[in-house]
Structure 1
Amino acid sequence: MYSPTYGRISYDRMIDIIKEFIEKSPQSTYNISVGTDSQNFGYTKTVIVVAIHRIGSGGIFFYDIKNVKKITNISQKLFYETSTSLDIATKLSETLQKEGIDFGINIHVDAGKKGQTSKLIPEIVGWIKACGFGCETKPNSYAASSIADKYTK
């Protein structure tokens, strides 16, 4: 994982940083979000983001980059992004619960009511909710449509 503040870090270090961030203001309310976006080049560059938002007081985020064989079908790409987010959210949820941190996790999907992916939203949202996570789409899916999007360029 990478962090603009902490540089390249391990998954375990990310968990420690999240714990420290929450311990600094335990009375605050937090949103934990996971989002993925991808961009095609000669391959598909995929960016996965874990964002911790302290409501009313900023936040921190971490990201990882994976390059995979080029995915040209827009539906397949959205399902791949969602699957990637679900994988990290599941691992993160299990780890944070062991640490006594249970705010719930929202998956942020880079799809909105306008555009080619709009018809897939009910299926994607249903899949995410069936896996036990909350779901946000555009314009509320900042982890995918803003943060991850920035690092796919």
Structure 2
Amino acid sequence: MKSITYGEISFNKVCEKIKEYTEKDSEFEYVISVGTDSQSVDGYTKVVSVIALVRKSKGGIFFYDIKKVKNMKSLKQKILKETQYSIELASKVMDYILENDINASLEVHVDIGHQGETKYLIKEIAGWVMALGFKCCLKPDSYTSSGIADKITKKGSKVC
């Protein structure tokens, strides 16, 4: 994974940073969100998964991973793959949270909403995420996928 603050960082180090961050100011409420976005570029699809940790009313940090996969042309295929990556990453984060008694809620952010081309996928995608025990956030509340990850997927992004 990568971080603007810490550079290249292993998933285990990401988890350690989450623990340090949440223990620093334990009176605050923390939300960990996981989201993925993708963008087709130059014959492949750039997939960015993000773990964001927000200290409510006091900022946050995020970590991201970039994958290049075979070009996905179908919008439904992209959304399903993004959700799959987010669920897999959220599951690993949840295991760490539970093992280390970290006081933070965990959300999966998906890049779909009630407006636009993806609204027909809401029942299917949100149902999948919630059936696995995660809180599912849609646009406009899915800032990790539709905000952070989206910006990193864009060609020319300074974060890479």
Q: TM-score range by the shorter chain?
A: over 0.9
Instruction: State the Cα distance separating 1:9 from its structure 2 match.
Output: 0.5
State how 1:128-147 maps to structure 2 within 5 Å: 128-147=129-148
State how 1:55-94 maps to structure 2 within 5 Å: 55-94=56-95
**Structure 2: any 5+ residue segments left out of the alignment?**
155-160
> Contact (CA 8 Å) 1:104, 1:133: kept in 2 or not?
no
Q: Report the 3-state secondary structure (helix = DSSP H, G, I; strand = E; otherwise coil) of the residue aligned with 1:94.
A: helix
Q: Map Cα deviations across residues 61-82 of structure 1 (whole Å, 9 max, x no partner).
A: 0000011001100001100000
Q: Which residue of 1 aligns with 2:5?
A: 5
Q: In 2, distance between residues paired with 1:31 and 1:70?
A: 32
1:17 partnered with 2:5: no
Specify the code of the residue in structure 2 equivalent to 1:128: V
Specify the code of the residue in structure 2 equivalent to 1:6: Y
> Contact (CA 8 Å) 1:108, 1:142: kept in 2 or not?
yes
Q: Map Cα deviations across residues 44-74 of structure 1 (whole Å, 9 max, x no partner).
A: 1000000010000000100000110011000
**Identity in percent:** 49
Q: Which residue of 1 aligns with 2:112?
A: 111
Q: In 2, distance between residues paired with 1:94 and 1:19?
A: 13
Q: In 1, distance between residues paired with 2:8 and 2:136?
A: 28
Instruction: State the Cα distance separating 1:102 from its structure 2 match.
Output: 4.7
- Of 57-66 and 110-119, deviating more is 110-119
1:54 partnered with 2:61: no
Specify the code of the residue in structure 1 equivalent to 2:82: E
Q: Which residue of 1 aligns with 2:99?
A: 98
Specify the code of the residue in structure 1 equivalent to 2:78: K
Q: Which residue of 1 aligns with 2:36?
A: 36
Q: Map Cα deviations across residues 24-57 of structure 1 (whole Å, 9 max, x no partner).
A: 1011101110000000011110000000100000
Q: Give TM-score scaled by structure 1 length.
A: 0.97
Instruction: State the Cα distance separating 1:104 from its structure 2 match.
Output: 3.1
> Contact (CA 8 Å) 1:31, 1:103: kept in 2 or not?
yes
**Structure 1: any 5+ residue segments left out of the alignment?**
none
Q: Report the 3-state secondary structure (helix = DSSP H, G, I; strand = E; otherwise coil) of the residue aligned with 2:113.
A: coil
Specify the code of the residue in structure 1 equivalent to 2:29: T
By percentage of residues, which structure has more strand?
2
Specify the code of the residue in structure 1 equivalent to 2:27: Q
Q: In 2, distance between residues paired with 1:132 and 1:102?
A: 17
Q: Which residue of 2 aligns with 1:126?
A: 127
